[in-house]
Structure 1
């Protein structure tokens, strides 16, 4: 049976995902902020699917709010950025087929995911499982490896893509549309791995600290 996903969330159809988002939209009055933690996290992952996500995110996402209608009678979502600016976005645009940039980012993340696991294991072996932000002691069920101390993953990936001339220069296997593809050129995959290693600055946070970081 066909399925539709928003990050780790799986829906029976795209229509089911749309109804879930509409329920969030109409559960708040116009002008109010989205306060529910799970609603906020879903909208963060949804915004990442927007074809112009980088423009919408800008300096980073501080919060979401319900925007007044722009055309017609229907409200929408508004991104409140960390620099105090804001911009509206269409959730329907987010539900369109993923752009090639989004497909490449999915694959890039999969190509380097082991580095985050290795970092966590090194911290556990050293006996330093504590939040690098609050100092809170961590356990394996409440730990997130985060880029919060350096450039974000998207910034690192964008640097690499731009050094090649753009996202289209990275050829993916045919399974990339599902977010589980691979680099066709394995030498290029190794170059990406090395670039990521040279730029990534990991740290440990609690899961809630990580989830509430401004999205970049």
Structure 2
């Protein structure tokens, strides 16, 4: 007689997989979403559908070398042949005209400790970013700090473009505390929602961010062309 194994609800829970804020039931479904974009365009074509463009921007953020790939910011994406020429792959065209090919599969691999910590650092300071937006809204100054364009609440994006990038602020802090492996995180319930286990260290990060971040507002279009790291 075979005795059935009874699993708890937690054991049966399917791990959540993400691209940006998009949640997928399985890793295969997430991969198919990227492949569907590649299939919609021919070689050399610019990715001109907004939803496709936004997904590829979030995908590139997941690359282990995202900081180097993004550079000064992405202007648009094209579809190009992979190195062997048999398949389609994405290429980022940066705002300075540089063309950077990247492997979408590398973006979908399990996140490294570096990626997890950077995601947690962004999550930790999100209340500061939200407070900045609310202060601008209360002061009736929802205008682009780059172009002067008036912005709606839904169309205003908080960005690090008037000072150091978020990535640079975060790396300076990480180096000061002993590297990425020196930062322990609690368990993630969703991509990017892990937090620092050491709350005293978290407060040091909050203070570092308050001291060095120079926030501003951009329109959605302006923000798309800025580095997102």
TM-score when normalising by structure 2 = 0.85
For 2:155, what is the secondary structure of its paired residue? coil
Larger Rg belongs to = 2
Q: Provide the alpha-carbon RMSD of the alignment.
A: 2.0
Do structure 1's residue 142 and structure 2's residue 142 form an aligned pair? no
Residue 226 (structure 2) pairs with residue 213 (structure 1): yes
Matches within 5 A, 1:9-158: 9-71=22-84, 73-158=86-171
Aligned partner (choices 184, 190, 193) of residue 171 of structure 1: 184
* Alpha carbons 2:74, 2:94 under 8 Å: kept: yes
CA contact (8 A) 1:64 1:79 kept: yes
C-alpha distance 23-175 of structure 1, shift in aligned 2 (>3 A): closer
Runs (4+) of structure 1 exceeding 3 A deviation are none
Count of residues paired in the alignment = 216
C-alpha spacing 1:138/1:61, structure 2 compared with 1 (3 Å):
closer
Structure 1 residues 60 and 204: CA distance shift in structure 2, 3 A? closer
- C-alpha spacing 1:87/1:204, structure 2 compared with 1 (3 Å): closer
State the alpha-carbon separation in 1 of the partners of residues 69 and 222 from structure 2: 23
Higher mean C-alpha deviation, range 25-34 or range 195-204: 25-34
Taking structure 1 as the reference length, the TM-score comes to 0.90
CA separation in 2, counterparts of 1:26 and 1:90?
Answer: 16
Structure 1: 5+ residue stretches without partners: none
